[in-house]
Structure 1
Amino acid sequence: MTIQLKQLGAWRRIFAAMALLVAGTAAMAQAAVKIGCVLPLSGGSAAVGNQTRTGVMAAVEQINAAGGIKSMGGAKLQAVFGDSQSKADVGVSETERLIQRENVSVMCGAFNSAVTFPSTEVAERAKTPWVVVGAVKDEITERGFKYIFRINNKATYDAREQLESMDLLAKDSGKAVKRVALFYEGGDWGRSHAANIRKLAAEHKIEIVLDEPAPPNQVDFTSQLLKIRSAKVDALILALYTPDQLLFTRQLAEQRLDLPFGVHSAGGGTEDPSFYAAVQPSMVGYYFVQEDWQIDILDISKDPLLADADKRTRAALGYGMSAYVAQGLSATYVIKDALERAKSADREKLRDAIAATDITAGPALFTGYQRIKFDAAGQNTFAHGVISENIGGKRRTIWPMENRAADTKPVWPVPVWAQR
């Protein structure tokens, strides 16, 4: 009898231990994987930052609803945000908070190049992988870092696409751009874009006759517009965030500044739906925009996940999908793919998995890329954009030729204001 009681007690202890093990395993499986994301949720780039946040949240909710990270027992994702306010020092402090206090496994962001550049340095020192969203400054992925990865274009790609589109239009019409003005925001993004235009202009037989950064907190661009008019340029290349883009566009229209081959914007404010909601359609007629996704051909209804993201975006922001929402979606699905392969939220294992990314299908490609694969520097060399022209109130893709719809006819040169 004593032996039987001892045996019973032993079995009870074994069963109790097994129950604790099962409970512990279940708890581990359900532990949330934290994704930190620094974005400009207030300040000058808040409209773009909140679009990106909406994309991140849509992807997180879609992934969790579909069962979470299956290789980790259904672990759910949790997005934790930091507001950079479009300020480098704030972005750095928010990065430190998310890594040290929130203990996130991976970072994403931060749209503004001037914020992303120093913030990714913090992540690199902390050996925390970072998936860049939006920021294009070349040097972000040219510092020999191991933990920093960029899905979207770098500045060199943007500049090259703008100039190649001008070449294509010149070939089609026999009328080429010869003299351009550069006007750009004075931070890392604008200066990086202008530097690449300078570097590439000569091989495209283009002369830069005016090259000027926008002063910070500008409230009137009259003097800059007068300089552009006096320079008698064929075209104007812009790189401005939404607030400056709004003011500049209104004043250019008010002054009826005629540019034979139009305004060519490197995205920024001219990809922001809130910009178009705040200007009269006539003010942006014949604008050429370097787009981060193809706004005129993508059929959102064909993909249930994209349709769901569009619905969530409309509910949250009052308008549908944008390049910035798509970038938030893409970054989150890239992280999800890496987590599935790493089978762990360990930062080092996750870093190795992101470095080995090779995606050729699925929601990570909502931005319109055909592939996401990082080179040794962390740059997705398959990133690309398209160039649109605003024709009849709609942005229609005109470059590259294979992306141009059969019924899209570029207007080149553009009409003078008196004939619009």
Structure 2
Amino acid sequence: MALGLGLAGTAVAQTTVKLGCVLPLSGGSAAVGNQTRAGVIAAVEQVNAAGGIKSLGGAKLQALFGDSQSKADVGVSETERLIQRENVAVLCGAFNSAVTFPATELAERNKTPWVAVGAVKDEITERNFKYVFRINNKATYDAREQLEAMALLAKETGKSVKRVALFYEGGDWGRSHVANVRKMAASYGLEIVLDEPAPPNQVDFTSQLLKIRAAKPDALILALYTPDQLLFTRQLAEQRLDLPFGVHSAGGGTEDPSFYATVAPKSVAYYFVQEDWQVDALEVNKDPLLHAADKRTRELLGYGMSAYVSQGLSAVYVIADALERGKSAERQALRDALSATDISAGPALFPGYQRIKFDEQGQNTFAHGVISENIDGKRRTVWPLANRAAGTKPVWPVPGWAQRANN
């Protein structure tokens, strides 16, 4: 219970529920972290403007942020600060799997519920924890969707990928993603001809691009955060490396609007991206709350909705739903309400899900993404078919650099 002052100077009781969110607000993943922060802020403002948590007498949400600096040890210390000093009721974050994995362990020990945002490392929801919940895909789902999209496009055209190269950041996320690609590759008829982690703090990818060229893959699967993705994309375009069935990115930097604002559009033509939300959603979803969130995001960041903004929005709405049903901001009661979540409508589904329901490990088994292709300067959903807009025609295989206009 916090005390505020009324117009006449009289103390008036004002109940708030503290929501802590650990995000990379500085460091290598800062662009993504600040997008997630914008989504959290927009959703908190929307919930409060609609009357707050009605089952708690209109209690308002208060978002408190911790900056992980994209570092695991800092993320853990910020988690401890939010739990012990700020006494938050619930936590969310932390995008980077390498931060989320140890930070959620601390939250579990302190019996503080945590709604994972962005992090996909499989093991985050495979430790029999009771206080950790993940709305979005885990790495297994991301990898499967990339290979399913290749299979669908092959079925539609009769032209199949046979040889793939893997290039990925060497942390928890990248290694987790490619481990799943390795497990599934043979069942999709794929041969892995190169398997290469990116060295940390790389300033030149020339040697890695030479290795990719020498391996002669049909397609390249990437898992890189924004800084590395920027450098790699520029150098790939400079070297005019032809990949018959294109680049297939597992999100990361290629979901980041700041990436597209920086690179030349022709350098990302025909990129396939495993998206954590339907990138053309604003065209097909007319929900005023979504469009209001897009407007608020533009005010905060200078650009609109992204996968990371939508995930921040979703996390807050899932927490608000649990608070309403549980009728308590006490950590154990909130944890119990989160475990009973079953949402099939409303703003929590803005990332593109049809349902949010957690299994006994805390994973939303209804999570899924989409695969987009950058066609004529616009990212268009091409997989699954149910999400593909009428008139969208995938380009498969992709033209070589010499055949592209305006080279």
State whether TM-score is above 0.5: yes
Provide the residue aligned with 2:249 in structure 1. Answer: 265
Contact 2:170–2:197 (Cα < 8 Å) also in 1: yes
2:279 is the alignment partner of 1:289: no
From the two aligned structures, give the one with the greater helix fraction. 1
Provide the residue aligned with 1:7 in structure 2. Answer: none
Q: CA offset at residue 66 of structure 1?
A: 1.2
**What letter is aligned with 1:131?**
V
Counterparts of 2:395 and 2:351, CA distance in 1: 26
**What letter is aligned with 2:199?**
P
After TM superposition, what 4+ stretches of structure 1 lie above 4 angstroms from structure 2? none
Provide the residue aligned with 2:355 in structure 1. Answer: 371
Q: CA offset at residue 403 of structure 1?
A: 1.4
Contact 1:300–1:307 (Cα < 8 Å) also in 2: no
2:190 is the alignment partner of 1:206: yes
2:26 is the alignment partner of 1:38: no
Number of corresponding residues: 395
Provide the residue aligned with 2:4 in structure 1. Answer: none
Provide the residue aligned with 2:208 in structure 1. Answer: 224
Among 210, 227, 232, the residue aligned to 1:248: 232
Q: CA offset at residue 301 of structure 1?
A: 7.1
Among 315, 327, 337, the residue aligned to 1:343: 327
Q: Which has the larger radius of gyration?
A: 1
Counterparts of 1:92 and 1:34, CA distance in 2: 18
Contact 1:161–1:386 (Cα < 8 Å) also in 2: yes
2:136 is the alignment partner of 1:164: no
Matches within 5 A, 1:140-179: 140-179=124-163
SS in 2 for 1:368: coil
SS in 2 for 1:382: coil
2:141 is the alignment partner of 1:123: no
2:313 is the alignment partner of 1:329: yes
284-293 or 400-409, which moves further after superposition? Answer: 400-409
Q: CA offset at residue 408 of structure 1?
A: 1.0
Among 290, 295, 313, the residue aligned to 1:306: 290
2:261 is the alignment partner of 1:277: yes
For residues 117-145 of structure 1, give each alpha carbon's deviation from its aligned partner in whole angstroms, at most 9, with x where no partner exists. 00000000000000000000000000010
Provide the residue aligned with 1:10 in structure 2. Answer: none
2:63 is the alignment partner of 1:79: yes
**What letter is aligned with 1:373?**
K
393-402 or 113-122, which moves further after superposition? Answer: 393-402
**What letter is aligned with 1:96?**
E
Provide the residue aligned with 2:346 in structure 1. Answer: 362
SS in 1 for 2:217: coil
**What letter is aligned with 1:43?**
G
**What letter is aligned with 2:327?**
K
Counterparts of 2:285 and 2:370, CA distance in 1: 21
Contact 2:89–2:331 (Cα < 8 Å) also in 1: yes
2:219 is the alignment partner of 1:235: yes
Provide the residue aligned with 1:4 in structure 2. Answer: none
Structure 2 unaligned segments of length 5 or more: list them.
1-9
2:380 is the alignment partner of 1:396: yes
Q: For the aligned residues, what is the CA RMSD?
A: 1.2
Counterparts of 2:125 and 2:245, CA distance in 1: 33
Contact 1:387–1:399 (Cα < 8 Å) also in 2: yes
Q: CA offset at residue 300 of structure 1?
A: 7.2
SS in 2 for 1:278: coil
Counterparts of 1:207 and 1:343, CA distance in 2: 53
295-304 or 386-395, which moves further after superposition? Answer: 295-304
Could you tell me the percent identity over the aligned residues? 83
Return the TM-score normalized by structure 1.
Answer: 0.93
For residues 65-115 of structure 1, give each alpha carbon's deviation from its aligned partner in whole angstroms, at most 9, with x where no partner exists. 111111011111100100001000000000000000000000000000000
2:34 is the alignment partner of 1:50: yes
SS in 1 for 2:295: helix
Provide the residue aligned with 1:187 in structure 2. Answer: 171
Counterparts of 2:157 and 2:144, CA distance in 1: 20
Contact 1:151–1:331 (Cα < 8 Å) also in 2: yes
Provide the residue aligned with 2:43 in structure 1. Answer: 59
Contact 1:114–1:189 (Cα < 8 Å) also in 2: yes
Counterparts of 2:301 and 2:398, CA distance in 1: 33
Q: CA offset at residue 401 of structure 1?
A: 1.3
2:79 is the alignment partner of 1:95: yes
For residues 258-303 of structure 1, give each alpha carbon's deviation from its aligned partner in whole angstroms, at most 9, with x where no partner exists. 0000000000000000000000000000000001111124337721
Contact 1:55–1:313 (Cα < 8 Å) also in 2: yes
**What letter is aligned with 2:187?**
E
Counterparts of 1:118 and 1:197, CA distance in 2: 24
Return the TM-score normalized by structure 2.
Answer: 0.96
**What letter is aligned with 2:234?**
R
Among 406, 416, 420, the residue aligned to 2:390: 406
Counterparts of 1:95 and 1:242, CA distance in 2: 24
Provide the residue aligned with 2:120 in structure 1. Answer: 136
Counterparts of 2:273 and 2:79, CA distance in 1: 31
Contact 2:280–2:379 (Cα < 8 Å) also in 1: yes
Contact 1:388–1:397 (Cα < 8 Å) also in 2: yes
Contact 1:300–1:306 (Cα < 8 Å) also in 2: no
